[in-house]
Structure 1
Amino acid sequence: MRSAVGQNRGMSAGAVRRGRRPAGEDTRASIVAAAREEFAAKGYDAVSMRGVARAAGVDPGLIRHYFDGKGELFAASLVPAGADPQALAGRFAEGGIEGLGERLARTVLAVWDAPDGQVQLRLVLSGLLSADGHVQELPRYLQRTVFDQVAALLPREVAARRVGLVASQVLGVLVARHLLRLEPVASMSPDELVQSIAPTIQRYLEGVDEGLAPGPPEEQNSSHGEY
């Protein structure tokens, strides 16, 4: 199959170097760059993990050290070059809940507002809207690498609900900004947009809009009159 990625053959810069990678080089980034080239040139179905390993100059077993399978590797290739979602999420999550909405929003915009990020985002969103089955790997990948780290900071019983609301807010802003080009969102500076959406994300994270009912009255206030 020629997926949406296969239609964007020029999305990565330069050919992938052949041969084994020297020590100290960013191995994960090399694997992702090779995968992006392979998927763009051949389409999803024709690419193999072994072929990506050859293109990246690494042992095939090393790819499985970083990625659970071909689907996850494909998802990683859809992320803008140089961005490691798991590492980025680890940085904005390490400060805890306080201020997390702003850190998350700023990180997301920094990644997807970049020129390469905008190209990749339009590619991804087009694939998602067309129900491209392979592009559906990306939400699952981001769930595991990004949103699971956010969920770990929240009470377990409400984590899925709150993270889902955060994800919907972030995706909605990206669609409005880069796919639909809705004003004023499309023209706002990153700082303006962060200051506008961060409070909403923070409310979702803290659950202040959940309308939780007060707990049951204390037993000593019951009609039994026991103290």
Structure 2
Amino acid sequence: MTDAPAGKGTGVRRRGRPPRTESADTRDRILVTAREEFSEHGFEKTSVRAIAKAAGVDSALVHHYFGTKEQIFEAAIAVAFAPVVDAPGAIADGPLEGVGERLTRFVFGIWENPTTRTPLLAIVRSAVNNETAAAVFRRLIAAQLLSRLAQQVDHPDGELRADLAAAQLVGCAMLRYVIKVEPLASADVEQIVARIAPVVQGHLTGP
């Protein structure tokens, strides 16, 4: 009796490219794992090998799907900034009256959403110590939203005003979600918006 050909009747899959559905599932699993690893350890202390091990795949497969660690990082956190691509039209193009509240609600809405919070934690923790992560932050946040806001503000120092508004929001978010300073960490988000929005508005349109 002859042996069955490889892949027929033996449960052994032929070598070659995996089925498309399996490829998509594997890619998604790597992305989810990468977000978790970057969020917990930051960019510097996260390796491709660690991501691969946690995802249950080979390091070469991670490189195959995403390339370098920098590219993996950007892909892993991009989901958090997908809303930012569409946000400028709703936030910056509206009337300047009330823009502080619109922007504040938008930012804290992303932080309050568990799906987008993890990649945000990853990039904030990483950007503090790594220039690559900081560059991703500037590209995905500053270029997409702040520059649009600066153009709408009718002041010669519009860019500075937009940066100060961002600093107010990012600083508050870091204290609440990253450092978890109390009572800010457990305060109701509506209370935070009510306190922060007028300050952001003042940065953008105040004297």
1:172 aligns with 2:171: yes
Deviates more, 1:184-193 or 1:70-79: 70-79
Are residues 199 and 127 of structure 1, via their aligned partners in 2, closer, same or farther at CA, if it must alter by over 3 Å?
Answer: same
1:37 aligns with 2:31: yes
1:195 aligns with 2:194: yes
For normalisation by structure 1, the TM-score amounts to: 0.59
Deviations 1:173-195 (A, max 9, x none): 11010111112221122211110
Unaligned 5+ runs, structure 1: 1-16, 20-29, 53-69, 209-227
Mapped to 2, the partners of 1:160 and 1:125 lie a distance apart of 21
Write the letter of the residue equivalent to 2:140.
Answer: Y
Q: C-alpha displacement at 1:76, in angstroms? A: 6.0
Q: C-alpha displacement at 1:111, in angstroms? A: 0.7
8 Å contact from structure 1 (residues 105, 198) kept in 2: yes
Mapped to 2, the partners of 1:141 and 1:156 lie a distance apart of 24
1:116 is aligned to 115
Are residues 177 and 148 of structure 1, via their aligned partners in 2, closer, same or farther at CA, if it must alter by over 3 Å?
Answer: same
Mapped to 1, the partners of 2:140 and 2:178 lie a distance apart of 21
8 Å contact from structure 2 (residues 101, 193) kept in 1: yes
Candidates 3, 18, 21, aligned match of 2:20:
18
> Percent identity, aligned pairs only?
26
Write the letter of the residue equivalent to 1:139.
Answer: R
Q: C-alpha displacement at 1:118, in angstroms? A: 2.8
Mapped to 1, the partners of 2:105 and 2:128 lie a distance apart of 25
2:8 is aligned to none
Q: C-alpha displacement at 1:167, in angstroms? A: 1.0
Deviations 1:14-72 (A, max 9, x none): xxx937xxxxxxxxxx9xx869729939489x877x945xxxxxxxxxxxxxxxxx979
1:213 is aligned to none
Mapped to 2, the partners of 1:127 and 1:153 lie a distance apart of 30
Mapped to 2, the partners of 1:36 and 1:84 lie a distance apart of 22
Deviates more, 1:198-207 or 1:79-88: 79-88
Mapped to 1, the partners of 2:182 and 2:201 lie a distance apart of 23
User: How many correspondences in the alignment?
Assistant: 162
Write the letter of the residue equivalent to 1:180.
Answer: I
Are residues 114 and 104 of structure 1, via their aligned partners in 2, closer, same or farther at CA, if it must alter by over 3 Å?
Answer: same
1:65 is aligned to none
8 Å contact from structure 2 (residues 80, 110) kept in 1: no
**Could you say what the CA RMSD is over the residues aligned between the two structures, in angstroms?**
3.5
- Helix, strand or coil for the counterpart of 2:181? coil
Mapping 1:1-227, distance limit 5 Å: 18=20, 37=31, 40=34, 42=48, 51=65, 74-75=73-74, 77-81=76-80, 83-131=82-130, 133-155=132-154, 157-208=156-207
